[in-house]
Structure formats: C-alpha cells, structure tokens
C-alpha cells in the first residue's frame, strides 16, 4: 500500500508541475521601464530618491504578486539598455519601447509617468501662537499626500498602445503639526522602504501603483480599458472623418489604427449568464490623424463611411 501511495503522489506532483508550466507559458511576458517624472516641478524630496525607478520597481513587485503577466528581471533589462545605449526613462516613445521589448524577447513593455507626487498641509493657527521656534508655525493641521501615475502597455510587435491605466492615490492625516521647511520631514527615509511605507505619501503611492496594476491586468473598472485593449464609441461619422469618444487620456496616439466593430452575437456562460465572448464583424478601420485629451479623429483606410453609425463600438484590436 505504501508503494502505491508513493506512486500516486509522484504522479500528482508531476501532473501539477506540468499544469504549472503550461499556465506560466500562457502568460504574456512583459518588461517595465523606469517611469518619467520631469513634469513634477516642486521636487522637494531628498536628492537620492530616483522616483522613476522607484515607481517602476513597485509596479514590478505588484505585477509579480498579481500573477497575470510574466515580468522580466530588472538586471536583464538594465543589461540590454546599457548594451543598446538606451535610457530606461518613460520618455521613450512607443516605437523605441517596442524596440527594447523585441531585444528582450518580451511581448509587451510598460512605460509611464508620474504626474503628481505631492504633500500639502492645511494649517490653522491656535490662538495667539502664530510663530515660534525661529518662524515655525504651530497649529492643528491636515496633511494630504497625492500620487498620480499614468501607464501604457505597448505591444512590441506593432508598437501600438494596447492598454492604458491611470493610478490615483490620496491619503490624509489630521493632528498637531510643527510646520517646517526642507524636505517636509522625509530626510533619511528611503523611497519604497519600511519608513516610507509608514508615511501617508507611502500609502498614497501604494494605492496609485495598485490602481495601475489592476487596470493593466484587466481587473480594474476603467470604461476605456477592458481586457487589455482600448475601447470607445463612435461620436461622429461623416465626410470621410470619424471621431471617437476617447483620446490621449485613454492612450490613443496619432498614427494608430482603430477598428470599428459590430457585435453579431454574445456568447454567455450557461452557469453564470455572463458574457464570455463576443462574435463581431469589423466594419471599418481608421487611421488616427488628430488626438486631444478626450477624443480622436481619424480617416478611413478600410471600409465605407456609410456603414459607420454613431454609437458603434471602437477598439484598438479587431475584437471585443
């Protein structure tokens, strides 16, 4: 009996290993470049904080924990960037990011930028105590940390942005505070370390990074990004021009191809009633010629303008 049990256990272990290997093989392999933060003007944090790399490392950690993607190791990324004399900064455009991804042998690359990284204190003076200790004010205050991140998932084969994410984190704390200048009390704290995590800025950063990872993994609630693709609707179609109700905020770029699709049939799960697949027809393809924050304008490169109606579905891929 013991030999039989050991044999069965060995089969279970081998079968489990095979399933694990197959699941890992199905994961999309990605790389994460350092995030760009040049737009932040008030750089009050300590001089040794590499904000772009720090945010990137936090995104990698959360992606690994999430398990949706297979994330390439940082040292391999750094080696390729050094050999190719390419910067890791999120300032790289989609084509350069795709080039880096191809060299790394990954299917997609995540780039992004930190658009807000701030600490603000609203302070109310107490009675006649206006200034003490050489000009520092004492009073009851509310300190708020805000961290906003934009991220893009770029397909290395087509150099198209196939998904975007907007992470927002905000945390406040009330209490008695001694206001002071300098780096606002963050001297000696390492970005991403234990001391940083204990601050409201650390909490806000974690919230923002968590938002980005959920959206890129297709687990967020963003209306423009579903299942890793850009989704929108036709807002206008006429005179050979199509305008859609999504723009740069959703990751659409000039020169990108968008697909106008119509759903033929929705396939639902018999057990849950949820839609598990949509069968669609591609009505037309448009090339984006102009983009603003909330809309994109394109010209038809395939199909007929007469077949496109207001409210038709638009996707960055020929599917829904």
Mutual orientation of helices 94-104 and 74-83 as an angle, nearest 10°?
A: 110
Burial class of residue 247 in the structure, from the number of CB atoms within 10 Å of its CB (0-12 exposed, 13-18 middle, 19+ buried): buried
d(CA 222, CA 214): 10
The answer to whether 101 and 31 have CB atoms below 8 angstroms apart is yes
The helix or strand, by DSSP H or E, that contains position 95, with its residue range, turns out to be: helix 94-104
Helix residue ranges per DSSP H, 112-256: 194-197, 200-216
Whole-model pTM: value is 0.58
Query: Is the pLDDT higher at 319 or at 173?
Result: 173
pLDDT 10s digits, 217-227:
875 444 444 44
Residue 300, both tokens:
């038809």
For residue 30, the cross-strand partners are: 71, 108
**Mean pLDDT, to the nearest integer, of 102-118?**
89
Of the candidate ranges 19-33, 242-256, 274-288, the one whose mean pLDDT is the lowest? 19-33
Q: Judge contact between 50 and 56, C-beta under 8 A.
A: no
- Locate tokens 């990751």: which residue? 251
Separation CA 176–CA 194 (nearest Å) = 24
- What distance in Å separates the CA atoms of residue 109 and residue 71, rounded to the nearest whole number? 10
Q: How many CB atoms lie within 10 A of CB 195?
A: 13
Using a 10 angstrom Cβ sphere, with 0-12 exposed, 13-18 middle and 19 or more buried, the burial of residue 226 is middle
- For residues 190 and 182, give the distance between their C-alpha atoms in angstroms, rounded to a whole number: 16
What is the distance between the alpha carbons of residues 121 and 247, in angstroms, rounded to a whole number? 34
Report d(CA 264, CA 292) in Å as an integer: 31
The single-letter DSSP state of residue 20 is H
Q: Is the pLDDT of residue 175 over 70?
A: no
Asked if the model's pLDDT at residue 276 lies above 60, the reply is yes
Q: Average the pLDDT over 104-109 and give the result.
A: 90
Q: Are strands 28-32 and 108-125 parallel, antiparallel or unpaired?
A: parallel
pLDDT band per the 50, 70, 90 thresholds, residue 182: very low
The domains found in the chain, sorted by start residue, are 2-216 (3.40.50.10610), 229-315 (2.40.10.410)
Q: Among 128-142, 167-181, 305-319, where is mean pLDDT lowest? A: 128-142
Q: What is the pLDDT of residue 214?
A: 86
């Amino acid at each position: 009996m013991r030999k039989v049990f050991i044999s069965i256990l060995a089969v279970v272990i081998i079968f489990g290993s095979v399933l694990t290997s197959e699941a890992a093989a199905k994961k999309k392999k990605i790389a994460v470049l350092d995030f760009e933060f040049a737009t932040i003007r008030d750089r009050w944090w300590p001089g040794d904080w590499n904000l772009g790399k720090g945010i990137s490392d936090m995104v990698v950690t959360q992606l690994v924990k999430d398990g949706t993607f297979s994330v390439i190791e940082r040292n391999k990324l750094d080696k390729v960037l050094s050999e190719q004399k390419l910067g890791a900064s999120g300032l790289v455009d989609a084509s350069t990011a795709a080039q880096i991804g191809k060299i790394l042998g990954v299917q997609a690359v995540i780039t992004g930028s930190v658009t807000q990284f701030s600490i603000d204190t609203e302070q109310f003076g107490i009675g006649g105590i206006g200034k003490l200790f050489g000009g520092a004010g004492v009073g009851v205050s509310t300190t708020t940390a805000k961290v906003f991140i934009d991220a893009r998932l770029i397909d290395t084969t087509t150099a198209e942005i196939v998904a975007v994410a907007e992470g927002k984190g905000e945390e406040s704390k009330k209490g008695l505070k001694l206001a002071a200048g300098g780096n606002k009390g963050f001297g000696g704290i390492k970005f991403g370390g234990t001391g940083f995590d204990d601050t409201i800025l650390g909490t806000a950063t974690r919230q923002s990074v968590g938002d980005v990872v959920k959206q890129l993994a297709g687990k967020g609630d963003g209306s423009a990004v579903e299942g890793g693709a850009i989704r929108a609707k036709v807002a206008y179609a006429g005179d050979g021009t199509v305008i859609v109700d999504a723009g740069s905020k959703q990751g659409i770029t000039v020169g990108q191809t968008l697909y106008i699709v119509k759903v033929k049939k929705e396939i639902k799960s018999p057990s849950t009633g949820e839609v598990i697949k949509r069968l669609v027809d591609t009505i037309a393809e448009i090339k984006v010629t102009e983009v603003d924050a909330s809309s994109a304008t394109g010209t038809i490169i395939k199909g007929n303008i007469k077949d496109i109606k207001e409210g038709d579905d638009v996707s960055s891929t020929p599917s829904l």
